[in-house]
Structures are given as C-alpha cells and as structure tokens.
Chains A and B, each alone.
Chain A
Amino acid sequence: MSAPVSPRVLRALLPPLSLAALLIAIFWLQPRTMSYFGLNLLLNLAVPIALATIAQMFILCVNELDLSIGAFVSLVACITATWLHDAPLLGVLALAGLVAAYAGLGALIHLRNLPSIVVTLGMSFVWLGLAVLVLPTPGGAAPDYIRSLMTLKPPIVPFPIIASVVLALAVHVLLMRSAWGTVLRGAGGNPQALARAGWSILRIKMTMFALAGFFGVLSGMALVGLTTSADANIALRYTLLSIAGVILGGGEFVGGRVSPIGAVIGAVTLALAGSFLSFLRLNPDWQIGAQGAILILVLALRVLISRGEVRR
C-alpha cells in the first residue's frame, strides 16, 4: 500500500481531528451551539486555559514541569482584580515582578540542578498564599479595558476563535519558525550540544520560564476579564488542564518536542470535553472519569501512530 499519509502527518493531524470530532458531536447534541452566540459561550473560557497551556508548553519544552501554574494564574487574577484595577502602576509592576520571579525560578532550577517538580510544587503554595494575602475574600473588579476586550463581539467570527488562532500562530512563528525559537527548543532536545556551540543554557532556561510567566499573566488577566472578579482558588484546576492540553496537542514530556498550535487545540479540546459531557447529561460523578477516558483514547491513538512511525 502506498501511503500518501505518513505517520508523521497523521500524528500532526490527530489533535485537530479529535477537536473536529468533538465539535461535531456537540453540534449534534445541542444545535444551539452552532451559532455566533453559541460558539462564543462554548469557547470563551477556553481562552485562559489555552494561554495557561502555552505557558506550560514553554516549561515542558526545556524538559521541566510546572505544577504551580494554576496557583500562579489565580494569583495573577487576584492582582488584576485588585491592584491593576485600583492602582494600575503598582499592578503592572507586580505583574512584571511575577514574570521576573519566574525567570528567577528557571535560573534556580538550572544552577542548583533541582527537580522542577519539587520547586514548582513548593512555589504553588507560595503563589496561593500570596493570592490569599492580596485578596482575602473573593471580590475585586476587572479593569474595564480587559473586560471589554474579553467580551468583544467582532463581526462574523467570535472573539474566542480569533484569540485562539492568533495565539497559536504567534507562538508558532516565534518558537517553530524563527532561528531564536530553534535555539530555545534545542535546549530541550540536546542541551550539551547547544552548550558546546556556545549558547548559555542558563539564559535559555530563564527565557523559557519568563515566557511561561508572561503567558501565565495573560491567562490570569483573561480569566478575570471573563469572570469580572477573582478568588484565590479560581484557577487551581489549570495546573493539570495545562499539562494535559500540551500532551493532548502532540507534545512530549522530554526532548523539546512541543507544538504551539497543537497545545492550543489540546486546551480547546479539553474545555469542550467538559461541555460535551454536560450536554450528554452524564452523572457528574462520572464526568472526571469520562474526561480522563477521552484523554486516554486520544493518547492511545497517538501511541498506535507512533509505533507505525518506528516500524518504518
């Protein structure tokens, strides 16, 4: 059999195909979603998840794992709803400080050769503690410009779709198409080779962590734009969602093998899986399990395809 579709292409097609299958199922279950209004509601909460997934992707790209992204996004949400709203300068400084803190974490993990799982797990409690200090009781208000951006109603195409596409393409160009991006990814694939070629792995790790921090900040701001106010626990789920999103979108835990477009698709797929199960009227006790089953199904398909790839 001549194979015009190689496993490599199949592998790349898997995330968009799973998303399409899920979308068709949702349209069939609930035709109301097949409209501008419906798509907007269905997808708007996927935007902050996609941003958090991109943040996680930068970390995974350099063979690390971030278990604090959910707490970090919560902290950003709390700062956005309080300081950024009441005292914009202080808010901007605090958020910039958080990005710098992330870069510092990257340096710490690299210099002391610490396992990132331990460092970020510890930091998740720090972020959560800070979030409670900033906002002891749920509340605050989203700055008007973020609120109006997140509730933007552009003609024809709903905002969440535009935002997701722009995000995926922008990061794709940055990381996959630019010379700089290739060096960054190389640090995950073969750090020794890069170090010998004269690149500073420390600088690369700091850059990747700073980028993760930056997208984590964007995620928190987007989330507050949707919810209008914050809560110290608002985004704790994002830690696991973001890791699952990257993997679902074709990323690997090691080797600098990631895909920004895939990550965004993975995040949207996970967000839609929740809606799909809810439209099915599945008992909530089963929903988490069913979400896991969807994940296993897609990953199992991927393993099958990868085996085909190896056999060649």
Chain B
Amino acid sequence: MKTMTTVACAALLSLGTAAMAPADTSDKRIALSNNYAGNSWRQAMLRSWEKVTGEAVEEGVVAEADAFTTAENQVTEQAAQIQNLILQGYDAIVLNAASPEGLNGAVREACDAGVVVVSFDGIVTEPCAWRIAVDFKQMGKDEVLYLADRLDGGDLLEIRGLAGVFVDDAISAGIHEGVEETGKFEIAGSVHGNWAQDVAQKAVAGILPSLPEIAAVVTQGGDGYGAAQAFKAAGRPMPIIVMGNRHDELTWWKEQKDANGYETMSVSIAPGVSTLAFWVAQQVLDGADVPKDLTVPFLRIDQENLEEALERTEPGGVANVNYTLEDAKEVIGGGAM
C-alpha cells in the first residue's frame, strides 16, 4: 500500500517536473488571506484554492497552503489577519484585499519581514506587492474583435452592467474602442442589464421594437440568456450573442448549436484565479524573476470546447478553471502588459 502511494506520487511528480525543481520551495508555507466568502464566486474561488494547493502540498511543491477568511469584511480585521500571518511565519501571503489602499501598512510590514505578498482580484497598491489584475477593458475589446472576424459589419446592441460600477465602465470602454478600431460596426442601442438575466431580458424586449436588424449583441456576462429570450419572444432573427460563462448561457448555446449550428463565444473571469496567484507566489519564492504587475487571462469558451466547459460547470454557477504552474509561467512570461 505504502509503496503504491509512493509510486503514484513519483508518477505525479514526474508529470509536473519537466520545467521545475520542486525541492526549492518544498519547505515554504503560503497563506491565503481572504476578506469575504459570501457569494458563489468567492465560494468557487476558495474551493479551487483548496483543490489545487492540496495537490501541491501532497506533491511536496510547498509545505503548507492554508486559507484564512476574516470573520468580518473589514479593513482593520484583515490588516490584523495579515500581521498574524506574518507572525505565524508564512513565506508568502496570497491576498484578496478588502481595500486597495487600507491594507498598505500591513502589506509593507509583511514585505519588510521578507514575506512575499501576491494580491489578486481585490489588489493592493503598495509597490512591494505583486498584483494580478483583471483587464476588463481588453475583455470588451476582445468581444468586438471576435465579431469582426465573423461579420462584415452591421448594427450591434450593447448590454451594459450595473450603472456607476467601475467594471461596467471598463468593459463598455473596451467595446467602444473595439468598434472604433475595427470601423465595421455601429452600436444601434444600449441598455443596462445589471448582469442579471431577467433584467437584461426586460431591457432588451423594451428597446427591440425601435431597433433595425441586429447583427450581434455584445454583453458583460450574466445577461446573454435573457437577451436571447427577448429576441425569441419578439420573433426576430437570432443575432450572435456573446455569452459570459454562466451555466444557463452555456446550456442555451449548446441547445442552439445542436439544433441549428449556432456559433458564438463566451468570456469571463474564472474564480480559479486564486490558484494562479498561488503559483505566482510559488514562482516568486522559487526565485523566478516575476514582474510586479500581471494580468489575469480571461476564461474564453469557443465553439469547439463548449461541451467540455459546460460539463465542468455546476448548474447555477460560473465556468471555472484551476490554473497550473505552466499557466502561471505563461502569464509571468508575457506579463509585462
């Protein structure tokens, strides 16, 4: 029994050791400092962390990788938590921060104590920390670039998110930049779908009668399925609707694909970005030269890998991906964006 485990471990190790020397960080301890666990995205994020770091610990890549969530989503709580993690002797802290600025003092203390700090999603501005940020603007632009490949031109309907939130502005700015650069499209109408299918459906149904034929719908995620329902109810030809990795969106897309060969793409941020941050921290501890500002790759689903993605997504959830060491190295390599 014991030898079998050893053999299995050795096999696992040899799979992953092509480019890394696992011994270098095998005595290192990495902690996750998280400020909030109250929605499905955060829960998925914690599950990803548990799964990937659990395997990494078993394989001996690192000695420990524990997750800590503060009891309350408060800056002072998390600052105290970070200081406690320093005292517990962790070599690196992976951080999803309650505030981009309020934790800088504690992060500074960590850096001064020789602890590597990698922030992701909720990033911190303290220069000594690493940041894995999301380029929402690029995400919006990518949607238009995809459409430019598929179509010769036409009218677009834009579904925006929650008004006044930074993410909404960023994605929309990217979409408009893409439209300007490609010069093929015209944005015929724009509604706020608040990242919710029911809101999006009502908003699209309301604006549709005033619109010419729509070639494609650009979205922000969580609104594609509602848009499709509105088009169907109005009896209008189905445009290309860009999806946002939600389970209901992917399910609808799959049904259409099987029925009439409907083609589109889907893009969003995977909660598994926590595991990317883990590998980046591991790489920094390993002595790799890692730029301080990295950008999260989007999780994009295309016609070919739709079935595979749908299978791995829980009903009611968001498509997720657990990043590997190789993914992290790729991000680090091309990270100076």
The chain A residues found within 8 Å of chain B, CB to CB, are 30, 32-33, 37-38, 41-42, 44-45, 138-140, 223, 225-231, 233-238, 271, 274-275, 278-279, 281, 284-285, 287-288
Contact = CB atoms under 8 A, between A and B. Distances in A.
Given A227-B103, A227-B106, A32 B83 contact: no
Interface string B175-186: 000000000000
7 contacts: A41-B86, A44-B83, A226-B106, A227-B106, A228-B126, A279-B87, A288-B71
B206 interface: no
A284 B69 contact: yes
B232 to A, nearest CB: 41
Given A30-B87, A32-B89, A284-B68, A229 B102 contact: yes
Given A229-B102, A234-B76, 17 more contacts: A30-B88, A42-B84, A223-B76, A226-B106, A227-B101, A228-B108, A228-B126, A229-B104, A231-B99, A233-B75, A235-B76, A237-B77, A274-B77, A275-B84, A278-B68, A278-B81, A278-B84
B109 interface: yes
A234 B73 CA distance: 10
Nearest to A140: B101
A43 to B, nearest CB: 10
Contacts of B113: 37, 41
B70 interface: yes
B50 to A, nearest CB: 14
Contact of A45 (B37, B71, B79): B79
A229 B98 CA distance: 13
A139 B101 contact: yes
A284 B70 contact: yes
Contacts, number: 94
A138 B123 CA distance: 12
Interface string B319-334: 0000000000000000
B80 A271 contact: yes
B169 to A, nearest CB: 13
Given A227-B75, A227-B79, A138 B99 contact: yes
Contacts of A230: 101-102
A44 B80 CA distance: 9
B114 to A, nearest CB: 11
Contacts of A231: 75, 99, 101-102
Contact of A227 (B37, B70, B72, B105): B105
B100 interface: yes
B36 to A, nearest CB: 11
B337 to A, nearest CB: 24
Interface string B29-40: 000000001000
Contacts of B99: 138, 231, 233-234
Contacts of A32: 87-89
Interface string B45-82: 00000000000000000000010111110111101110
Interface in B226-278: none
A235 B79 CA distance: 12
Given A227-B103, A231-B102, A41 B74 contact: no
Contacts of B126: 228
B126 to A, nearest CB: 8
A279 B87 CA distance: 9
A196 B131 CA distance: 65
A290 to B, nearest CB: 9
A233 B74 contact: yes
Contacts of B104: 227-229
A33 B80 contact: no
Contacts of A37: 113
Contacts of A140: 101
Nearest to B73: A233
Contacts of B83: 41-42, 44-45, 275
Contacts of B101: 138-140, 227-231
A31 B145 CA distance: 57
A25 to B, nearest CB: 14
Contacts of A278: 68, 80-81, 84
A272 B176 CA distance: 52
A228 B109 CA distance: 11
A223 B88 CA distance: 23
Contacts of B76: 45, 223, 234-235, 237-238
A279 B108 contact: no
Interface string B270-307: 00000000000000000000000000000000000000
A1 B88 CA distance: 46
Contacts of B75: 227, 231, 233-234
A285 B38 CA distance: 11
Given A226-B105, A227-B105, A279-B84, A236 B70 contact: no
A101 to B, nearest CB: 24
Contacts of B108: 228
A97 B243 CA distance: 53
A97 B106 CA distance: 30
A37 B86 CA distance: 10
Given A140-B101, A231-B102, A284-B71, A45 B80 contact: yes
B170 to A, nearest CB: 15
B69 A42 contact: no
Contacts of A41: 83, 86-87, 109, 113
Interface string B102-125: 111110110001000000000000
A289 B243 CA distance: 42
B71 A285 contact: yes
A141 B143 CA distance: 38
A118 B109 CA distance: 40
Contacts of B84: 42, 274-275, 278-279
Interface string B146-172: 000000000000000000000000000
